[in-house]
């Protein structure tokens, strides 16, 4: 191969490497910046890996972004918050409803329930 061709290939690879490094280090891939379909899939996969009492509200906001729907109440010294993150598309109407979401129930900031039972527990408080 010609030395000129090899040097151009090496320069192109170096530029590509710099570009990839910049994207990896500086591109903020937050859930709020995702398309709705990608965010829905991300939420579903992420929520599927959660462990009760080892996940807290601050982590939810950091990893999943702002919830699509949220409700909260305080009973005696305990605060309860149920958040809904969209995980399944039902109807293309421009609105996110509870049936399109997975609920996460937090007691004093710690995750205590996931899914339909989370909202049922919240309602019974």
**Which pLDDT tens digit goes with each residue over 7-21?**
888 888 888 888 888
Structural domain count of the chain? 1
Query: What pLDDT does 2 receive?
Result: 83
Please report the pLDDT score of residue 92 as a whole number.
79
Assess if residue 24 is contained within a domain: no
Cβ-contact 125, 112 below 8 angstroms: no
Phi, psi of 82 (to 5 degrees): -110, 130
Is 26 part of any domain? Answer: no
- pLDDT digit string, tens, across residues 57-113: 999 999 998 899 999 999 999 999 999 999 988 877 778 888 899 999 999 999 999
pTM to 2 decimals? 0.73
- What's the pLDDT score for residue 71? 94
> pLDDT of 33-44, one tens digit each?
667 778 888 999
Domain assignment of residue 118, given as a range? 31-124
Enter the tokens of residue 121: 């527990």
Q: Residue 84 belongs to a domain with what CATH number?
A: 3.30.1450.10
- 59 within a domain of the structure (yes/no): yes
> Mind giving me the DSSP string for 43-85?
HHHHHHT--TTS-BHHHHHHHH-S-SEEEEEEETTEEEEEEEE
């Amino acid at each position: 191969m010609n030395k000129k061709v090899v040097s151009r290939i090496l320069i192109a690879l170096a530029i590509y490497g710099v570009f990839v490094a910049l994207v990896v280090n500086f591109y903020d891939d937050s859930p709020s910046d995702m398309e709705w379909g990608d965010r829905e899939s991300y939420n579903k996969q992420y929520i599927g890996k959660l462990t009760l009492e080892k996940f807290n509200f601050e982590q939810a906001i950091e990893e999943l972004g702002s919830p699509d729907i949220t409700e909260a109440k305080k009973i005696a010294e305990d605060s309860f918050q149920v958040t809904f993150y969209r995980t399944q598309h039902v109807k293309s109407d421009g609105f996110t409803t509870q049936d399109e979401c997975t609920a996460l129930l937090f007691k004093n900031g710690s995750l205590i329930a996931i899914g339909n039972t989370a909202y049922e527990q919240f309602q019974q408080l």
